[in-house]
Amino acid sequence: MSAAALRVVYAGSDGRVSVAISSLDFDVGPQETLGILGESGSGKSSLAHALLRLLPGNAKFSADRLCFQNDDLLRFSQTELRRLRGAGIALISQEPALALNPVLTVGRQIEDVLAAHRSRDQRKQSVKSILRDVGLEDTARMMRAYPHQLSGGQRQRAAIAQALVCSPSLLIADEPLSALDVSTQAEVLELLKRVKQERRLAMIFITHNAAVLEGLADRIMVMRQGEVVAMGRFGEISASDDPYVANLISPQKTLAQLAAPAAITASGEPLLQVRGLSKKFVQSRPFSRKSFTITALEDVSFEVAECQSIAIIGRSGSGKSTLARCLAGLEEADSGEIVANRTNGKNNVQMIFQEAGTALNPRFTAEEIIAEPLLIAGKLTPEQRMERVSAVMDDVGFNPEWAGRRAEQFSGGQKQRLALARALVAEPRVLILDEAFSGLDVPAQARMMRLVLELQSRHKLACIHVSHDLNFVSLFAREVLVMDAGRIVERTSPSRLLESQNPVTRAIIEQSESLHAIGLEAVL
Amino acid sequence: MIRFISRRLAQTVLLLFGISVVLFLLAEAVPGDYFSEAQLNPNISANTLQALRSQYGLDRPLVVRYGYWLASVARGDMGYSLAYNQPVSQLLFPRLGNTLLLAVPALLTCWVLALVLGVLLAGYGGKWSERVFSLGSSALLATPDVLLALLALLIAARTRLFPAGGMHSLATADSGRLSSARDLAWHLFLPGCVFILSSLAPIVRHVHAEMKEVLQTPHVRAAEGHGISRLRVLFRYALPAAANPLVSLFGVSVGLMFSVVLVVEIVLGWPGLGPMLLEAILARDMFVTIGGVLLSALMLVLGNVVADFLLYAIDPRIRVQP
């Protein structure tokens, strides 16, 4: 496949025009893997959709040349394009949970792809063999399963099966790993490498995580704001001097810069004490008498003091989010106690949620969002409120000119800052960050982390970082608590983390290392 | 499942009971009764009226009357109509049959039309077709049902292609089954059309809006990315995913069917529940009124039950997992 002067422009509803891709040239040879690397908002996903000519109605697409196997895609009719999609070029979309239809079985959805491109015979058989191929062994059950009955990794495998079932020669994978937890990421990556080998696929692999491209991509194209910044082999790219490229390729360098403010002195008095916290969920299904109990928390105890950070890590389902919700008072624990140091009778705990974007009302302006906790507390005059809001915006490095913009108009990183500002305006002493940065790419994560560390020392905050992997966030913590099945299985410090003998901890470390997603060595 | 059904049944019975109590209280609050108008007639003495009232039990206390009525419901009579001089059930049920004969096929046709129109428009519509749709459906929404019915009457009277009321022609009364069915369909056409037109606009707008939203979702775009044809994507991938709120709307529309059909029946002379209910209200024929209202409440509950089951059938996320 090759393209020349590819350009995609979005027309906003308010008449503004934003350029997603400006004049892009590239080519992918047979069996070659092209890695496309870039920050969020660099036009990577627009590119994936543009190649399949699947852009939404408000997008304008133009190119001098767009060829696939000697066919000119620019001259293709809608029907010809439809025949090509799935059969010649297949797409694996970003979020596996969202890319499968919730009301149709997996078997049905894979079969429909076959039905669109192949004749009737052998369909059932091919569906089964492709499911086995992507590592979904229990084919009969998988075919009957609905997406919500599968785990994240199984869903992604099903989506890959759907893409591969018609044996395409080019596979476009648009951030296929970003929504999965680390262990599943490693498995899916392994699978993609294997099918690429076996089926002699050409692949365009889009990601913001340079590490996964190292063993996979033949060439890498680095994108920034719709333009190509660098192109070449992994070695060539990683030797680049461009700070943007360097940031993307080796977050370790960024981490090293970060290590400086990490030296925070802890003072004695604990701000938050948790003793013997337990919580059970009883679930019952509609039309059924049976109910089953899930132990989310069992006898959890720890404490945090002023200026201290602790990190709570664990796989999904280990109870860490329930713990965070209990601490924030959103959930009532069954037994045990949470003692917070309540100065001026205020609730001192604030929480920042997993996905900042969904935790902000899209119709509110930035100013309204930040002012809301004050409005609810209701003690300040409007002037005092505005003063506090602008002080906090200054604190988190939020451009005051943006105060009147609506939440939906901000990028992921900006939304994260907004969420941070909203938490800070209530003057908390304890800040809970529930996977707060996991949706961001590595450079943005580093920037946010630096900001949080600064704020922590400035406002003498206690921070609790909740995370599913050994995100570098956990490396600045005084204590690392590893959770599994509702219990704390290990208490350790970042420096002793790598020597840990605990199987749960080891598993998490190994998965994190296999992805090179963190730069443990660089910091420790 | 059985528990669900039995709970639903118990709820329905309780609801109907409550409605009947409220209806009795309301009827009591209305001044006068069936014999009030006869008071104006100088030929009927006050004594005669008193005798009539006590004969029909209208002079008893409200609670006693309610008790009698409940007993009669238990027998399946649903009270006694003073105007028609027969048990209410004998009056209501044939009329109910006529109403359902008109409303059910019309409602189903309306939904099929709305689904096809809404889906195709959301999937293929351009700027202009969307504008025409928006204008047309707004106009239809703003038009009162009565006006549509009168318009239908006008068409029938001018063109003489369709009968201007009734359910059967005299000529075909004794002819074979086939020709009388054809005659019935011929009579059904205009009232059916009016019903469809008056219910179509809100439904089709909902379908269109839901589809527009679902077409933006990643899974629909992914399905297109796999080269599945547009029509299949629309009806097999997008529509079921958009169905949940529409199914709830379907339940509501079954409930509302009675109030829409009422106007159509009265204006176009269809011998259903509508005209009878109107007469009964005007004549203060209390038990017929109560029976009619109870039937329409029952319809509303039934509509919601049907919607619940449909939801259960369409959405696997709601279904029990084995």
Average of pLDDT values for A489-502?
A: 79
Check whether B167 has a pLDDT greater than 70. yes
Q: Which residue has the higher pLDDT, B26 or B163?
A: B26
Closest B-chain CA to A81: B227
* B226 interaction partners in chain A (CB closer than 8 Å): 85-86, 90-91, 112-113, 116, 162-163
- Out of A50-54, A286-290, A456-460, B148-152, give the one with best mean pLDDT: B148-152
Residue of chain B whose alpha carbon sits nearest to that of A48 = B225
Instruction: Assess whether pLDDT exceeds 90 at residue A200.
Output: no
Facing residue for B225 by CB, picked from A54, A115, A288: A54
Strands A202-207 and B80-81: unpaired
- pLDDT value at position A268? 60
Q: A99–B219: do the CB atoms touch at under 8 Å?
A: yes
What contacts 24+ positions apart, CB below 8 Å, involve B188-193? B188/B101, B188/B102, B188/B105, B189/B162, B190/B152, B190/B153, B190/B155, B190/B156, B190/B162, B190/B163, B190/B268, B191/B102, B191/B106, B191/B149, B191/B152, B191/B264, B191/B265, B191/B268, B191/B270, B192/B102, B192/B105, B192/B106, B192/B109, B193/B152
Helix then strand then coil, in percent of chain A rounded to 5, is 40, 25, 30
DSSP three-state, residue A15? coil
Rank A331-340, B10-19, B68-77 by mean pLDDT and report only the highest. Answer: B10-19
Compute the mean pLDDT over every residue in chain B, rounded to the nearest whole number. 84
Q: How far is A136 from chain B (nearest CA, A)?
A: 20
Contact B226 A100 (CB under 8 A): no
Asked whether residue A518 carries a pLDDT value surpassing 60, the answer given is no
pLDDT for res A429: 83
- What pLDDT shows up at residue A520? 42
User: In this predicted model, what pLDDT tens digit does every residue of A16-36 receive, in sequence order?
Assistant: 667 778 777 888 888 888 888
**So what's the pLDDT on residue A523?**
40
Instruction: Return the amino acid letter for A410.
Output: F
Q: How many angstroms separate the CA atoms of B306 and B322, rounded?
A: 23
pLDDT of residue A256: 52
What residue spans of A55-95 are helical by DSSP H? 78-84
Identify the DSSP state of A438. T
Q: Is the pLDDT of residue B289 over 80?
A: yes
Does B237 contact A104 at a Cβ distance shorter than 8 Å?
yes
pLDDT at position B87 over 70: yes
Q: Which residues of B touch A95 (CB under 8 A)?
A: 218
With bands split at pLDDT 50, 70 and 90, how would you rate the model's confidence at A61? confident
Query: Which residues of B fall below an 8 Å CB-CB distance to A?
Result: 1, 3-4, 216-230, 232, 236-237, 240-241, 243, 314-318, 320-321
Contact B227 A102 (CB under 8 A): no
Q: Give residue A524's pLDDT.
A: 37
**Distance, CA of B315 to CA of A103 (rounded, Å):** 6
pLDDT (tens digit per residue) in B99-142: 999 999 999 999 999 999 999 999 888 788 889 999 999 999 89
pLDDT at B322 over 60: no
pLDDT of residue A260: 45
Closest of A128, A120, A216, A121 to residue A165, by C-alpha: A128
Residue with tokens 């899930």: A294
- Min Cα–Cα distance to chain B from A170, Å: 12
Of A91, A101, A104, the CB nearest to B225: A91
Predicted local distance difference test score (pLDDT) of residue B114: 94
Give per-residue pLDDT as tens, A387-407: 888 888 888 878 777 777 777
- pLDDT single digits (tens) A360-387: 887 788 888 888 888 887 777 888 888 8
Dihedral angle of Cα B302, B305, B309, B315, to the nearest 10 degrees: 130
Flag if B226 and A116 touch (Cβ within 8 Å).
Answer: yes
| Low-confidence winner among A12-16, B83-87, B110-114, B202-206 (lowest mean pLDDT) | A12-16
Burial label for A95, CB within 10 Å (0-12, 13-18, 19+), is: buried
β-sheet bridge partners, residue B290: none
In chain A, what residues touch B223 (CB-CB under 8 Å)?
101, 109, 112
User: What average pLDDT does the segment B212-230 reach?
Assistant: 86
Average pLDDT of chain A? 78
How far is the C-alpha of B59 from the C-alpha of B258, rounded, in Å?
33
Question: Does the structure show a pLDDT above 80 at B213?
Answer: yes
B302: burial class by Cβ within 10 Å (0-12, 13-18, 19+)?
middle
pLDDT bin (cut points 50, 70, 90) of residue B210 is very high
Kindly list the residues of chain A whose beta carbon comes within 8 Å of any beta carbon in chain B.
49, 52, 54, 56, 82-87, 90-91, 93-95, 98-105, 109, 112-113, 115-117, 146, 148-149, 159, 162-163, 166, 285-289
Percent of chain A with pLDDT over 90: 0
Highest-confidence segment of A158-167, A280-289, A347-356, B25-34: A158-167
Dump pLDDT digits (tens) for A296-353.
Answer: 888 888 888 777 888 888 877 788 888 888 888 888 888 888 877 655 445 678 888 8
Given strand A170-174, what is the order of strands in its sheet? A89-92, A170-174, A202-207, A33-38, A219-224, A227-232
Across A168-182, A185-199, B37-51, the highest mean pLDDT is recorded for A185-199
Identify the pLDDT of residue A140: 84
| Helices and strands, counts by H and E, chain B | 12, 2
Whole-number percent of chain A with pLDDT over 70: 83
What span, in angstroms and rounded, lies between the C-alpha atoms of B229 and B235?
10
Mean pLDDT of B151-163: 84
Contacts of B230 in chain A (CB under 8 A): 82
What Å distances lie between residue B157 and A118, B153, B197, B272, CA to CA? 57, 6, 19, 21
A228 bridge partner residues: A223
By CA distance, what is A109's nearest residue in B?
A: B223
Asked if the model's pLDDT at residue A481 lies above 80, the reply is: yes
> Do the Cβ atoms of B241 and A101 come within 8 Å?
yes
